[in-house]
Amino acid sequence: MKNTVIIILFAMSLLSSCTIRQDYNQQLLKADSLMQLRPDSALNILKSISPEKLSTRADNAYYALLLTQAQDKNFVVQKDDSLIQIAVHYYDSIGDTKMQAKAHYYWGCVYRDMNQQAEAIREFFIAAPLTEKSKEKRQLGLIYNNIGCIYNIQEFNEKADSIYQLVEVIAEELKDTILWVEALSKQGSIALAEGNNYFPIVEQKLSDAFRIADKVGHNGLKADISASLSHLYSRMNLGEKALYYAKLNLSLRRDATRAYRTFLILGDAYYKCGQYDSATFYLNKSLIGKDYGRKADAYMRLADIAMIQGDNALSIELERSSSAYKDSLYQLRRRVVTNKIIKAETDAQTMLQKLYYKGRLNTYLYGFILITIIIIAIALIIYKQYQRKNDSLQKDKLQLEKVNQTLNLYYTNLQTDINQKDLEIVNLREELASHQVNEKQRKKLQAELDEMVLKRKALAKEAFLHSPLYEKMQAIIKDYQDQDTSDKEISDQEWQEFVAEMDVEWNNAITELCAKYQLSKEELHLVCLSLVEFPFSHLEYLLHLSRATLYRKRNALLKRIDTKQDREFEEILQKIR
């Protein structure tokens, strides 16, 4: 018997390591759940965790990945890749494809922040097929978007355009308007560099992108597209249109005092319209900063204005300044060798092959050991289990009956306590309504009544948590989590009893809210379920509505109540009560 137990425990240990089921720290799981909708909160949680207290490699790797992800989502520029390497090495070693993909993607993001473009594109190319394999379309779109950006910077225009076409397809499939706008605008900007023959294509791409960005109200993207449209119309010698979009670009910038590239675009647009004083003013404002390309373009345009105004000496001096900055820009760009990008693509393919063969080898090895142990263990277990089966089943049945009896008795006692508290509350209210009590007695009775109401509320909540309805709700949630369906349903009668009990618990505040704002049945159920602190992700199983629909209904209800949308229903009901 002792040997059997040892074998089983060893098999379970191996099975756990092979299937990568890790008991991650609960704080890490909470931070992960907040990552998409509230990345700032996720970052605060992660900063409060001491890495020294994480006892396992799995927790350390998870922490490293989440912290890197949170910093990236909060636009924190990362200058050190030592943290994300912990996650990459761990997930590569265990072969968890989904987590490998995410780790390599964020390693690429860190390299991007460090301006190591060749290393960044290598990691993005490693992450792309892993992400595709794990069917994370949204992440795949972001990876291709980053690859396209690097190709664009390095002037691999044909490759960049092909990548952005893939991004456009993914964005349309996901109905991700932001990603779609970025793909369209980047394709337009790339085509702009191809010459006059491509101007109609550029105009179509940028106009489509601007229309979508304007529809969703994304001012940042509208500003970038306006800049590209102004540049396009300037190239087409349509000065008025160029000036319109240049002014729009400036008005959409959050920090208009340091929008130096915007000043250059606006100055160029004024130049095209023949407004040389305004052009000179904005072109001079654009000269601040260290962008050699911007300075070269600004000085060249200022030289043109000086030539038009008859100041040949100043024009020659400004043209020399432009040439000097062009030379500096050429020298700067030579530091990034094109061959490094090409080598990075090859290195990515090599690394992917290594990961693939390593994963296959580990799978075969673990599989052989595990199958051997399982066969031996199963044979022993079947032999022992056959002897104990009837006794074990009978024991379990008796134990279950005992637990049910205990729970039923506890629930009955709670209901009795609630009824007693209701009676005491009625008596206290009658005493308060009496004209025979003085002010001092009234205050004392009011204090007792408030305390009694709180105790009654606590008992009601405890009773609900031990009620058959709560047990049924939990069973429905578990069914949906396990198999995406459930044969259990909450009846209308159960909903009515639930709402009535919650209304009593909240001193009739729910009835007042329902009457005042004409709540629908779904809205009423949403309010009550939120008050018992069900996770919002579980409500979709009980109400049979998607999470997006629930968020929309909640926000619409909060707006109808004329309150801030970051408040909770509990706070609203406390005010009513």
Tokens of 134: 């794990």
Question: What pLDDT score was predicted for residue 6?
Answer: 52
Question: What pLDDT score was predicted for residue 368?
Answer: 65
For residues 9 and 368, is the Cβ–Cβ distance under 8 A?
Answer: no
Q: How far apart are CA 44 and CA 368, in angstroms?
A: 44
Q: Which of 483, 461, 479, 481 is nearest to 470 (CA)?
A: 461
Question: What pLDDT score was predicted for residue 372?
Answer: 76
Q: Report the b/e string of 498-510 with b at 16+ CB within 10 A.
A: bbebbbbbbbebb
Helices (DSSP H) in 134-259: which residue ranges?
Answer: 137-153, 157-174, 177-192, 199-216, 219-235, 239-252
**In which residue ranges of the chain is pLDDT below 70?**
1-24, 329-339, 356-366, 368, 390-391, 393-394, 396-415, 417-442, 445-446, 449-450, 453, 562-567, 574-577
Helices (DSSP H) in 335-438: which residue ranges?
Answer: 338-433
DSSP SS3 for 518: coil
- Residue 337 DSSP code: -
Question: What pLDDT score was predicted for residue 402?
Answer: 67
For residues 232 and 202, is the Cβ–Cβ distance under 8 A?
Answer: yes
From residue 102, alpha-carbon distances to 26, 66, 248, 259 in Å are 20, 10, 37, 34
Angle between helix 97-113 and helix 82-94 axes, rounded to 10 deg: 160
For residues 105 and 71, is the Cβ–Cβ distance under 8 A?
Answer: no
Q: Which of 185, 188, 175 is nearest to 210 (CA)?
A: 185
